[in-house]
């Protein structure tokens, strides 16, 4: 599970996750259509012994915390292949068990201050303290020189909403300044053009960078503001000043901007004032549809830094169980095998074993593979994808989704497993990103089957849906489940659930204490795994192609990918 700026609260949030089951009345027709197509499925006995054996093995010290590119990777990949073979899967990459994932590490060095000249008064922002920047282009030096500056509001181009902050604008070679989050983030409800306080992908920093790049901007600077960002400047600074990790693209990142970065709110205000503009006024104006971007006329941006570049090869592991009737249609199970490797020692222990995060998810993949094989192949094929480099930014899943072995247009949907429930069986189910796709109807059925209640995601404004491997697929149109136990435990209720998840987050999350011996309850994992089995089996037995609800940011990608079918 990803750490900050996705925040150390990720685990607590997952366990306190909740869902909205459903969307509003306008989604109902789509949901009903999907509901009629959901088949009944039998859930076979799942092997607790396998779940425990795989979790124990992968989280043992011999694997050194499973960092990509280390001897720990060699052992991990070999072990997963062995377990896939034993489970009766076939190699998933044209006879091979693995897909190479080329990784690049880029570290900015010798960064200059960011200076804005040409305004009423020069404005200087110090690196790390007032601004941060890095490059996704694999090149030794990054320089922004005398670049015009344009305020583009939220920096959103959403054709399905008729919203385009770049309308009529040419930002080629320019530096765009954007607001974090999306225009209706202050709304109390989770309804509205951009889902109210729930974050859409248009609100995420990665979207801001991607859209600026599509528009041809040289640089993008996101104005930091703690509330809409959901984290302080300290998180922005620590996440953006060290090494940045990429999956290598063939063009070396030529399609990216020259530089991505953030600027402190106070500095942004100084910058706007130097151009004779009022930041607060423009920020308010940017919330309204039809907002016209504003050039900070006369102001030029300048900064530069060197890039230290290191490359290494890692691997995704892929096994497949061919479908009995429609083998060229695929249901995905994903989980990340990587973890943090050697880390800050606690009481002399410097191995971040990652037992829950995410040896448990890989153990889940193997356990489900066995169960599917034993129960007999479903109509559609099942792909078991163990991805690398999730902890460095969802890189293995992103690489697979952009270079799929099985076409995404033929991929029905899937289930991502990241840090299974180690705190005990729950009375509730929380869906992260509920209300977005027709998969909600499946979760409703699963809740009925398991006698659990669906609860709303408690903090949709934090955008957790965009922070684990399922998102790599969602972004390209494939609907993916992200659900699991909420906090309301069968034994001890909400109080016990909160206590247990807070205890994990404080004492073991991304720390050497996330060890096999610390997992004292396996019943919660087993009950969630049964639901994950059923979810995948349903998708593999229906002939439906679940889609995103009308107006969702990922629907266009799905429609486009399915159009040729
Ligand atoms: Zn993690």
What is the whole-number distance in angstroms between the Cα of residue 543 and the centre of ligand 1? 34
- What pLDDT does 2 receive? 63
Lowest mean pLDDT among 229-233, 378-382, 477-481: 229-233
What separation, in Å, do the N-terminal and C-terminal C-alpha atoms of the chain show?
34
What is the whole-number distance in angstroms between the Cα of residue 3 and the centre of ligand 1? 6
What is the whole-number distance in angstroms between the Cα of residue 215 and the centre of ligand 1? 33
Q: Which of 132-146, 239-253, 550-564 has the highest mean pLDDT?
A: 132-146
Chain segment 478-521, per-residue pLDDT in tens: 999 999 999 999 999 999 999 998 999 899 998 999 999 999 99
Give the mean pLDDT of 139-165.
96
Structure-derived torsion over alpha carbons of residues 355, 356, 360, 362, reported in degrees to the nearest 10: -80
Q: What are phi and psi of 150, to 5 degrees?
A: -130, 135
- What pLDDT does 36 receive? 57
Tell me the average pLDDT of the chain.
91
What is the whole-number distance in angstroms between the Cα of residue 364 and the centre of ligand 1? 16
Beta strands in 44-97 (DSSP E): 90-91
Query: Scanning the structure block, which residue is given the tokens 């007999």?
Result: 376
Give the mean pLDDT of 165-186.
96
Q: Return d(Cα 7, Cα 229) in angstroms, integer.
A: 11
What is the whole-number distance in angstroms between the Cα of residue 216 and the centre of ligand 1? 33
* Residue 72 confidence (pLDDT) above 90: yes
Sign of the C-alpha dihedral computed for residues 404, 308, 236 and 68 taken in this order: positive
What is the whole-number distance in angstroms between the Cα of residue 2 and the centre of ligand 1? 4
What is the whole-number distance in angstroms between the Cα of residue 251 and the centre of ligand 1? 29
Which of 335, 325, 352, 418 minimizes the C-alpha distance to 84?
A: 335
What is the whole-number distance in angstroms between the Cα of residue 454 and the centre of ligand 1? 25
- What pLDDT does 547 receive? 96
Which of 261, 256, 245 minimizes the C-alpha distance to 303?
A: 261
What is the whole-number distance in angstroms between the Cα of residue 467 and the centre of ligand 1? 10
What is the whole-number distance in angstroms between the Cα of residue 11 and the centre of ligand 1? 8
Chain segment 301-332, per-residue pLDDT in tens: 999 999 999 999 999 999 999 999 999 999 99
What is the whole-number distance in angstroms between the Cα of residue 48 and the centre of ligand 1? 23
Give the mean pLDDT of 167-171.
96
* Residue 5 confidence (pLDDT) above 70: no
- What pLDDT does 1 receive? 65
Write the CB contacts of 515 (distance below 8 Å, at least 6 apart in sequence): 59, 353, 355, 508
Which of 18, 284, 293, 72 minimizes the C-alpha distance to 175?
A: 293
* Residue 283 confidence (pLDDT) above 70: yes
Which of 448, 369, 297 minimizes the C-alpha distance to 82?
A: 369
* Residue 248 confidence (pLDDT) above 70: yes
What is the whole-number distance in angstroms between the Cα of residue 306 and the centre of ligand 1? 29
Query: Scanning the structure block, which residue is given the tokens 């460095």?
Result: 392
Report which DSSP code applies to 385.
Answer: E
What is the whole-number distance in angstroms between the Cα of residue 388 and the centre of ligand 1? 12
> What's the distance, CA 439 to chain centroid?
18
Of the chain, the percentage scoring pLDDT greater than 70 comes to 94
**Adjacent-strand bridge partners of 100:** 315
What is the whole-number distance in angstroms between the Cα of residue 1 and the centre of ligand 1? 3
- What pLDDT does 9 receive? 36
What is the whole-number distance in angstroms between the Cα of residue 391 and the centre of ligand 1? 6
What is the whole-number distance in angstroms between the Cα of residue 374 and the centre of ligand 1? 31
Q: Return d(Cα 316, Cα 469) in angstroms, integer.
A: 12
Omega before 5 cis (within 30°)? yes
Q: Give the model's confidence band at 196: pLDDT under 50 very low, under 70 low, under 90 confident, else very high.
A: confident
- What pLDDT does 441 receive? 95
What is the whole-number distance in angstroms between the Cα of residue 339 and the centre of ligand 1? 7
* Residue 7 confidence (pLDDT) above 50: no
What is the whole-number distance in angstroms between the Cα of residue 65 and the centre of ligand 1? 11
What is the whole-number distance in angstroms between the Cα of residue 509 and the centre of ligand 1? 7
What is the whole-number distance in angstroms between the Cα of residue 77 and the centre of ligand 1? 18
DSSP 245-314: EEE--TTTTTTS-SEEEEE-HHHHHHHHHHTT--HHHHHHHTTSTTPPPEEEEEEEEEEEEEEEEEEEEE
What is the whole-number distance in angstroms between the Cα of residue 155 and the centre of ligand 1? 29
Which of 565, 564, 558, 562 minimizes the C-alpha distance to 160?
A: 558
What is the whole-number distance in angstroms between the Cα of residue 494 and the centre of ligand 1? 24
What is the whole-number distance in angstroms between the Cα of residue 484 and the centre of ligand 1? 16
Chain segment 11-61, per-residue pLDDT in tens: 433 443 333 333 333 333 444 444 457 999 999 999 999 999 999 999 999
What tokens does 283 get?
Answer: 């920020």
Chain segment 441-458, per-residue pLDDT in tens: 999 999 999 999 999 887
* CB 374 within 8 Å of CB 322: no
What is the whole-number distance in angstroms between the Cα of residue 480 and the centre of ligand 1? 19
What is the whole-number distance in angstroms between the Cα of residue 88 and the centre of ligand 1? 29
What is the whole-number distance in angstroms between the Cα of residue 555 and the centre of ligand 1? 28
């Amino acid at each position: 599970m990803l750490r900050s700026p996705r925040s150390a609260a990720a685990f607590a949030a997952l366990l306190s996750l909740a869902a909205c089951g459903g969307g509003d009345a306008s989604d109902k027709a789509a949901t009903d259509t999907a509901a009629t197509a959901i088949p009944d499925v039998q859930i076979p006995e799942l092997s607790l012994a396998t779940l425990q054996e795989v979790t124990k093995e992968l989280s043992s010290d011999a694997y050194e915390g499973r960092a990509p590119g280390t001897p720990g990777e060699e052992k991990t990949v070999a072990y997963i292949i062995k377990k896939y073979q034993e489970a009766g899967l076939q190699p998933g990459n044209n006879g091979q068990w693995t897909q190479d994932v080329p990784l690049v590490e880029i570290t900015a060095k010798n960064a200059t201050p960011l200076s804005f000249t040409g305004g009423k008064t020069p404005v200087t922002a110090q690196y790390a303290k007032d601004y941060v920047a890095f490059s996704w282009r694999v090149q030794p030096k990054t320089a922004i020189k005398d670049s015009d500056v344009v305020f583009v509001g939220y920096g959103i181009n959403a054709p399905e909403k008729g919203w385009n902050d770049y309308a009529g604008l040419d930002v080629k070679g320019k530096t765009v300044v954007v607001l974090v989050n999306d225009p209706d983030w202050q709304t109390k409800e989770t309804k509205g053009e951009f889902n109210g306080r729930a974050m859409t992908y248009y609100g995420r920093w990665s979207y801001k960078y991607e859209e600026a790049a599509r528009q041809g901007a040289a640089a993008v600077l996101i104005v930091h503001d703690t509330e809409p960002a959901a984290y302080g400047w300290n998180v922005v600074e620590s996440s953006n000043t060290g090494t940045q990790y990429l999956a290598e693209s063939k063009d070396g990142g030529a399609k990216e901007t020259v530089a991505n970065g953030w600027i402190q709110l106070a500095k942004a205000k100084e910058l706007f004032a130097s151009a004779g503009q009022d930041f607060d006024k423009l920020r308010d104006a940017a919330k309204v549809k039809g907002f016209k971007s504003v050039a900070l006329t006369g102001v030029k941006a300048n900064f530069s830094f060197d890039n230290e570049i290191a490359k290494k090869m890692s691997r995704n592991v892929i096994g497949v169980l061919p479908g009995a009737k429609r083998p060229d249609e695929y249901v995905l199970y994903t989980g990340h095998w990587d973890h943090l490797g050697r880390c800050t020692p606690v009481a002399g222990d410097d191995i971040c074993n990652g037992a829950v995060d995410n040896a448990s998810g890989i153990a889940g993949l193997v356990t489900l593979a066995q169960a599917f094989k034993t129960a007999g192949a479903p109509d559609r094929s099942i792909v078991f994808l163990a991805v690398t480099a999730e902890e460095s930014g969802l890189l293995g899943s992103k690489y697979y989704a952009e270079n799929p072995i099985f076409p995404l247009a033929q991929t029905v949907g899937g289930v991502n497993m990241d840090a299974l429930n180690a705190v005990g069986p729950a009375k509730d189910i929380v869906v992260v990103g509920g209300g977005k796709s027709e998969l909600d109807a499946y979760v409703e059925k699963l809740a009925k089957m398991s006698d659990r209640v669906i609860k709303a995601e408690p903090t949709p404004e934090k955008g957790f849906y965009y922070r684990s491997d399922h998102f790599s697929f969602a972004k390209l149109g494939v609907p993916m489940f992200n659900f699991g136990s909420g906090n309301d435990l069968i034994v001890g209720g909400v109080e016990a659930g909160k206590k247990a998840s807070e205890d994990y987050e404080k004492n073991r999350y991304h720390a050497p204490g996330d060890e096999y011996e610390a997992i004292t309850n396996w019943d919660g994992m087993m009950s969630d795994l049964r639901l994950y089995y059923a979810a995948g089996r349903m998708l593999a037995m229906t002939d439906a192609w679940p889609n995103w609800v009308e107006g969702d940011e990922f629907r266009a990608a799905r429609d486009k990918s399915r159009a040729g079918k």
